[in-house]
């Protein structure tokens, strides 16, 4: 893919490193607001950062530290903050040891560089911001340091107006390389059984910042490496750029290649996909269109916002409740739900907690009951069965959280915070840091089988009993 770029020097970006330089690259898109220079344009700066390079230098400094944070939050006149996990924000510290603060001028200058056109022309991004309310460009930052060593960072920027329209709010998310496998993320190998079929609907759910996009990218990468398939994605924005391996991949971005998720999903079948990734289900229209694709013999992988697997089932059931045909289609093509959450550990590293719910007979029964008058309490009963380990092939999140706590990876109070049910939170808090039973700890005990050692023997045994679809 051809990339357009802007280059400038940033001396003293890190302590002890002189002559740093930075490049911003952006994919060549047809959207008029996203156009950047078609050839390398440059200018030099000496001494301290001015308003034109201040924010870019601050972002590069944070990215170079290699800390495990998901987002950088920039607000006019306020200290820049980094997000390390749910309810975990820290003030960003600059190279001089002081707090980083940004201004309207530095945010505007940074966005001008992101949206720079040929020469000194700037795409009218402020006009577009006033028109649509927010902008979400993806940009590549290259830092050139001592010995011409280049460090590259892909980031997604989300910009909006705030403060009664007087100020800017900017969130910058660091986009990592495409995950090699689900194991590298700490997910169970059993998850593969849910996307091994060539058709159906797989849903990944969880709160914002729980790593859903990363999980989706890992799944697509594994399919790309193992199958000769035609993969089409619809994302907002494209966070992970996949290279073609065994599969052909067409990545489409909302707002650039298609007006909306709903419009993009409607056009999907024209691309003759074997595998479809829909970045997020935001409305009933998109969900029903995705259901049609899964029902027609294609594999659909998507995400939605719901705290648990059963909450996701309730949400999907509500989308089809007024249509017996849609309800039947959902029961026939849904292969399973994965819920996940990130928990900040004792060393400020993130640990993945997850809940896996395949479409076992107990789930089919609950889904069927919830569509009728006999469904009162059906989902509550399913939640209790899941908690007690009585759903074939399922793994409750409370068990994974307890293992993380028992091994001292996370504090009990932080683990309990990601659990929806009161009894699950109480169970985690009551056990605290009790010693882990032999062979059941996270990253300890046992090897082989369907799960890595990070999952306890009980979970492995239940999942091994799960039939192939």
pLDDT at 31: 43
pLDDT at 8: 37
Q: What is the CA 4 to chain-centroid distance, rounded? A: 26
CA dist., res. 402 & res. 415, Å (int): 8
Q: Indicate the range of 224-233, 306-315, 460-469 predicted with least confidence.
A: 460-469
Return the higher-pLDDT residue of 219 and 368: 219
**Which position has the token pair 């989300």?**
158
* Axis crossing angle, helix 378-387 with helix 361-370, rounded to the nearest 10: 160
316 touches 323 (CB < 8 A): no
Q: Does domain 182-395 have CATH number 3.30.420.40?
A: no
Q: Indicate the range of 6-15, 51-60, 151-160 predicted with least confidence.
A: 6-15
Residues carrying CATH 3.30.450.90, the chain: 53-174
Return the higher-pLDDT residue of 203 and 438: 203
The per-residue pLDDT for range 198-215, each reduced to its tens digit, is: 899 999 999 988 999 999
pLDDT at 403: 95
Quote the tokens at residue 134.
């927010």
CA dist., res. 400 & res. 403, Å (int): 5
CB neighbourhood size of 42 (10 A): 12
Quote the tokens at residue 312.
């996701």
Residues 157-178: what's their mean pLDDT? 87
3-state secondary structure 53-97: CHHHHHHHHHHHCCCCCCEEEEEECCECEEEEECCEEEECECCCC
Is the pLDDT assigned to residue 308 strictly greater than 70? yes
CA dist., res. 229 & res. 196, Å (int): 13
DSSP 327-376: HHHHHHHEEEEEEEEEEE-TTS-EEEEEEEEE--HHHHHHHHHHTSGGGT
Residues carrying CATH 3.40.50.300, the chain: 182-395
CB neighbourhood size of 97 (10 A): 7
129 touches 161 (CB < 8 A): yes
CA dist., res. 63 & res. 151, Å (int): 10
* pTM of the full structure: 0.74
Residues 69-92: what's their mean pLDDT? 84
CATH number for 53-174 (one of 1.20.1630.10, 3.40.640.10, 3.20.20.140, 3.30.450.90): it is: 3.30.450.90
The per-residue pLDDT for range 214-263, each reduced to its tens digit, is: 999 999 999 999 999 999 999 988 888 899 999 999 999 888 899 888 89
CA dist., res. 80 & res. 217, Å (int): 29
The per-residue pLDDT for range 369-418, each reduced to its tens digit, is: 887 755 668 888 999 999 999 999 999 999 999 999 999 999 999 999 99
DSSP 224-251: HHH---EEEEEESS--SPPPPSSSEEEE
Mean pLDDT of the chain: 79
């Amino acid at each position: 893919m051809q990339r357009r770029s802007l280059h400038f020097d940033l001396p003293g970006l890190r302590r002890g490193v002189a002559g740093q330089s930075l490049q911003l690259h952006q994919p060549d898109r047809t959207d008029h607001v996203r156009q950047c220079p078609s050839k390398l344009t440059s200018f030099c700066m000496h001494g301290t950062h001015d308003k034109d390079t201040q924010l870019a230098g601050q972002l590069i400094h944070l990215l170079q530290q290699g800390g495990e944070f998901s987002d950088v939050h920039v607000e006019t006149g306020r200290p820049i903050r980094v997000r390390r996990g749910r309810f975990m924000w820290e003030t960003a510290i600059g190279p001089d040891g002081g707090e980083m603060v940004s201004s309207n001028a530095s945010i505007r200058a940074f966005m001008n560089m992101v949206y720079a056109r040929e020469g000194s022309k700037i795409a009218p991004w402020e006009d577009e911001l006033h028109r649509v309310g927010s902008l979400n460009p993806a940009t590549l930052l290259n830092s050139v340091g001592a010995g011409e060593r280049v460090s590259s960072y892909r980031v997604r920027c989300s910009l909006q107006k705030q403060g009664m329209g007087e100020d800017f709010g900017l969130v910058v998310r660091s986009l990592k390389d495409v995950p090699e496998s689900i194991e590298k993320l700490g997910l169970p190998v059993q998850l593969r059984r849910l996307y091994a079929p060539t058709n159906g609907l797989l849903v990944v759910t969880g709160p914002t910042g729980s790593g859903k996009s990363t999980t989706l990218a890992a799944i697509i990468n594994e399919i790309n490496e193992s199958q000769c398939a035609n993969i089409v994605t619809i994302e907002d924005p494209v966070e992970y750029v996949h290279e073609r391996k065994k599969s052909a991949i067409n990545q489409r971005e909302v707002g650039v290649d298609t007006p909306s998720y709903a419009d993009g999903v409607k056009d999907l079948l024209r691309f003759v996909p074997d595998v479809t990734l829909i970045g997020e289900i935001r409305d009933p229209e998109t969900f029903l269109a995705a259901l049609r694709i899964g029902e027609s013999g294609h594999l659909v992988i998507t995400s939605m916002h719901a705290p648990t697997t059963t909450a996701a089932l309730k949400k999907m059931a509500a989308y089809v409740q007024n249509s017996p045909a849609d309800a039947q289609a959902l029961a026939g093509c849904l292969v399973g739900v994965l819920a996940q959450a990130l928990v900040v550990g004792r060393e400020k590293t993130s640990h993945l907690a997850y809940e896996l719910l395949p479409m076992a007979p107990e789930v089919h029964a609950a889904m069927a009951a919830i569509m009728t008058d006999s469904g009162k309490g059906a989902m509550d009963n399913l939640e209790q069965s899941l908690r007690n380990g009585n759903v074939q092939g399922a793994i409750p999140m409370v068990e994974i959280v307890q293992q993380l706590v028992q091994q001292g990876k996370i504090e009990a109070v932080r683990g309990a915070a990601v659990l929806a049910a009161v009894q699950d939170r109480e169970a985690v808090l009551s056990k605290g840091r009790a010693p882990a039973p032999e062979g059941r700890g996270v990253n300890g005990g046992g090897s082989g089988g369907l799960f890595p050692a990070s999952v306890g023997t009980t979970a492995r045994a239940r999942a091994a009993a799960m039939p192939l679809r």
